[in-house]
Structure 1
Amino acid sequence: MQRREFLGSIAAASLIPGSSFAQSSRRRLIAGAHRQQILPADYPDTEIWSFDAAFPGPELRARQGDTLSVTVENASPQSTSVHWHGLRLDNTMDGVPGLTQDPIAPGDSFDYQFALPDAGTYWYHSHAKSMEQVERGLYGPLIIDETDPPDVDQDITLILDDIRLERDGTVANFDNFHDLSHAGRIGNLWLANGQIDPAYPLKRGERVRLRLISAANARVFRLGLQGFDGWIVALDGMPLSDPQALPDELILAPAQRIDLMVDVTTDENEAFVITFERDGGYAITHFPISGPSVAARQDRPVLPPNPIYPIDLANARAATLLIEGGAMGGMRAARLNGEELGARELASRGMFWALNGVAGRPDTPLLDLSSGESARIGMANNTAFPHAMHLHGVHFSEVLADGRLGPLRDTILLNPQETREIAFQAHNPGDWLFHCHMLAHHQAGMGTWIRVSA
């Protein structure tokens, strides 16, 4: 099913699910099944698993310094959990079954409550059977406003996704070793906020904070903006001290976020966010331009910094992470649950990837650190596919070729045969997952963890 088959028949719906402002009052989220029209109106609707019968789930909004309290009730067919992606929160609230909590069984609930030290753009999603549950819709945006937010005319969040649907509207099955052993689960339909090419009206001269979130299972989005000038002001929730001029192309890997501050400069009747694919570029969101122009701002926006934890590179503990496996290269053997197995036996168990020769989360951490200690991890992607490596609990910086540290992130993209190094301060005690956010790859072996002792 090709996306362009649908574009001509879609009415421009522009509503993101309703938001709720959370201070210390408790919010309830119900994970369950509902039906929603995703394909055009002349196609069947789709059964989605989502939060509060909305796809994406409702926007949770709070202010930096608040406490977020959410009770998650599980009315879905599978056990689940919720990971608050990118938040530097208490470890017991991180939402990883088997590492920080027990899964929430169908009919049960779990109370999450944690402080919000950082402003920025984050998201929440299932962390149980994630390849399936995130694909089916168990995710939503989480926005933490600055105590003194920047002056903008509009603040628009776009959760970008690709979903694999059959022509009858059903979500395609997940019993697919090709997804596990190749690039991951790639969808056949591109969505923004659960819709095909939604519209958000703007006026010329307006300044817009555009928050881009990737909820894709595996697709690496190559994006361009048409009709805007502006800056990248934050990556993965963390403000840039020196905002970057808007480039011709933005790379947004699974789970990554980019905050843009852009001015509407087009002389045309529409502006666009475009996704570039092999066969061309297609609008994933459009912005009708209407009404009188507003006075353009001249200043370059800079967001206030979040709490900073300095990295001591000279005395950092070092580790390496070798990524192996997958098709078109593969691996001969790896350890699984302490047992050395050959590639054929691993494949029969749905395991195709290994980190440092281990398939699946090992019993011992990659690093065992003391709180306040700095660490650096050199990573080598010895495979034919890209991997988006996500570290829970802390943000890291890439160690650049000249020894400088790049901007803070929580997810970094390693292309095939690429090596990169990250560094961080282990300021947040707990057991923290480190895994590929191509969710099929994580399911098929690409996960490890670090320990930070108080």
Structure 2
Amino acid sequence: MTFSRRRFLQSATALAVLPKAVRASSTDLVARKAIQQIAPNGFPETPVWSYGGGVPGPEIRLAQGARLQRRLVNDLPQPTTIHWHGIRIDNAMDGVPGLTQDAVTPGEDFHYDFVVPDAGTYWYHAHNRSVEQVARGLYGPLIVEEAEPLDVDHDLTLMLDDWRLDPETAHIVDDFDNGHDQSHAGRLGNLVSVNGQFDPAFSVRSRDRLRLRLINASNARIYDLSLDGLVGRIVALDGMPLETPMRVEDSFPLAPAQRADLVVDVQARPDRVAGLVSREREGSFGLVRFTVSGQSARTGQPSIAPLPPNPLPMVTLDSAPIHRMTLQGGAMRWLESAHLGETLLSGRELAQLGRFWALNGYAERPQDPFLDAQRGSVHRIEFVNETAFPHAMHLHGHHFRLILADGRLGPWRDTVLVERGQTRQIALVADNPGDWLLHCHMLGHAASGMMSWFRVT
């Protein structure tokens, strides 16, 4: 696998690093500047923003039902918060400025304290100026373990991200408000990393069984992933176990913020290399290498059983009202008009303000909720994508079930990919009280209009 300077986009912008000491305990998450080797060896190191000095931030692992307690210490030049993505937690701990808490200003801190009810693969990330702060590296994995661990030889967390780096300095290109990105597919990088590294390698044996916890931390990139020298099944999506694990036959998509847990067996022979592969327009590229040395003592490959289910509510669609959310705007489908607050502005006026998208005619989070639901009620939300681009729609504080084309209930998710021109329905049991964000997780789209919210009372 090779990488050359021509694969970098050209830009001269650089990020200065001004280290600053803070007092913090070993369990605190200190948001601060750091330096990391993101690009291949031979390229300069990259200034990043981090939790605790590295990207990703420290992996948090705890048992299902345990209490998570972390203090965010902000040693950055911007206010920030942490959103605990996919965790059904108390509303006050959700980390959304202006909706659930005030942003934590530089030099201040905030104590997060909540119980994790569901086993699975989750993550945490900045939720103020997210299009910039996540792109600079403010994210990390959150793993909630099942009561009984799986019989695997390796349990590996793999956080996928793409970086837009200057080819000469390897600094992050500082164009987060780029109108072209925001009005098109979003901020796409020119280098893909896994766990903050380019082309990492793990040592395995032939016939080893692996649990791969895949997390897409990219701002906008949708991965089309396949396996090489590995065979297995997807056992969970967005942290929630599948009733029937899905065999990976060819490839599968992973949109921004989505997760997929795989249980795979190493089929590659000793002295060969297996891998996780990204399929792209110009060909397929290895993301992770598994160097095979020796052979496991496993004599056979037992079937892959479903993970134990999480305590999710029962979904019944009888009499569930349908709430339509129309995704509007963007390049090639420009907004004619939309609301900012109570003011109706033309598409030209909105573009001058950096607003290119709308949800149900609003180019920012509206004053009134999209849905005002009684606790425990069931609702259908129909996402109608009238734009020329896909969108990864994420609901805070809840998981929902996809409604398949034939009307059956599909898997539990917290982020649904809605392709251009597509209509997708989800079934939501509004069982977690509070005010919750609903937005596109292409973070530039959210910053430029695709932001709404719902209330559970």
Interval of TM-score (by shorter of Structure 1 and Structure 2): over 0.9
1:404 aligns with 2:403: no
2:276 maps to 273
1:5 maps to 4
Supply the AA of the counterpart residue of 1:397.
R
Deviations 1:77-112 (CA, angstroms, capped at 9, x unpaired): 110000000000111000000100000000000000
Please, which of 338, 341, 364 is the counterpart of residue 337 of structure 1?
341
> 1:62–1:26: structure 2 CA closer, same or farther, 3 Å change rule?
farther
- Mapped contact 2:3–2:40 kept (Cα < 8 A): no
3-state SS in 2 of match to 1:275: strand
- Mapped contact 2:97–2:103 kept (Cα < 8 A): yes
Cα distance in 1, alignment partners of residues 343 and 295 from structure 2: 68
Unaligned stretches of 5+ residues in structure 2: 7-24
CA RMSD of aligned residues (A): 1.6
Cα distance in 1, alignment partners of residues 304 and 216 from structure 2: 26
Supply the AA of the counterpart residue of 1:280.
G
Equivalences for residues 283-294 of structure 1 within 5 A: 283-294=286-297
Please, which of 427, 434, 441 is the counterpart of residue 437 of structure 1?
441
2:10 maps to none
2:114 maps to 114
Supply the AA of the counterpart residue of 2:296.
S
Please, which of 199, 202, 215 is the counterpart of residue 201 of structure 2?
199
3-state SS in 2 of match to 1:441: helix
Supply the AA of the counterpart residue of 2:316.
D
3-state SS in 2 of match to 1:313: coil
Cα distance in 2, alignment partners of residues 27 and 63 from structure 1: 16
Q: Which moved more, 1:175-184 or 1:248-257?
A: 175-184
Q: Which moved more, 1:435-444 or 1:173-182?
A: 173-182
1:18 maps to none
2:181 maps to 179
Q: How far off its partner does 1:424 sit?
A: 1.3
Unaligned stretches of 5+ residues in structure 1: 8-24
Q: Which moved more, 1:293-302 or 1:317-326?
A: 293-302
2:316 maps to 312
Cα distance in 1, alignment partners of residues 356 and 384 from structure 2: 17
Supply the AA of the counterpart residue of 1:5.
S
Cα distance in 2, alignment partners of residues 29 and 3 from structure 1: 35
2:360 maps to 356
Cα distance in 2, alignment partners of residues 299 and 221 from structure 1: 27
2:371 maps to 367
3-state SS in 2 of match to 1:385: coil
Deviations 1:290-340 (CA, angstroms, capped at 9, x unpaired): 023331331222210000201221121321000000011111000012100
Q: How far off its partner does 1:407 sit?
A: 0.4
1:41 aligns with 2:41: yes
1:157 aligns with 2:157: yes
> How many residues end up aligned between the 2 structures?
436
> 1:270–1:6: structure 2 CA closer, same or farther, 3 Å change rule?
farther
- Mapped contact 2:207–2:295 kept (Cα < 8 A): no
2:70 maps to 70
Cα distance in 2, alignment partners of residues 116 and 374 from structure 1: 23
- Mapped contact 1:203–1:294 kept (Cα < 8 A): no
3-state SS in 2 of match to 1:4: coil
Q: How far off its partner does 1:170 sit?
A: 1.1
Q: How far off its partner does 1:3 sit?
A: 7.1
Cα distance in 1, alignment partners of residues 258 and 249 from structure 2: 17
Please, which of 383, 390, 394 is the counterpart of residue 394 of structure 2?
390
Q: Which moved more, 1:132-141 or 1:35-44?
A: 35-44
Q: How far off its partner does 1:260 sit?
A: 0.3
Equivalences for residues 233-248 of structure 1 within 5 A: 233-248=235-250
Cα distance in 2, alignment partners of residues 323 and 4 from structure 1: 37
1:54 aligns with 2:63: no
Cα distance in 2, alignment partners of residues 139 and 300 from structure 1: 31
1:169 aligns with 2:170: yes
Deviations 1:118-170 (CA, angstroms, capped at 9, x unpaired): 00000000000000000000000000000112111100010001010002111
Equivalences for residues 212-231 of structure 1 within 5 A: 212-231=214-233
Q: How far off its partner does 1:27 sit?
A: 2.6
Deviations 1:192-246 (CA, angstroms, capped at 9, x unpaired): 0011110011101111100100001001001111111111100000001111111
Supply the AA of the counterpart residue of 1:380.
V
Cα distance in 1, alignment partners of residues 434 and 356 from structure 2: 28
Q: TM-score, normalised by structure 2?
A: 0.93
Q: How far off its partner does 1:26 sit?
A: 8.8
1:379 aligns with 2:380: no
Equivalences for residues 20-31 of structure 1 within 5 A: 27-31=27-31
Please, which of 199, 210, 215 is the counterpart of residue 208 of structure 1?
210
Cα distance in 2, alignment partners of residues 137 and 231 from structure 1: 30
Cα distance in 2, alignment partners of residues 306 and 289 from structure 1: 34
> 1:3–1:191: structure 2 CA closer, same or farther, 3 Å change rule?
farther
Cα distance in 2, alignment partners of residues 271 and 229 from structure 1: 10
Equivalences for residues 80-159 of structure 1 within 5 A: 80-159=80-159
Q: Percent identity?
A: 52
3-state SS in 2 of match to 1:201: strand
3-state SS in 1 of match to 2:132: helix
Supply the AA of the counterpart residue of 2:410.
G
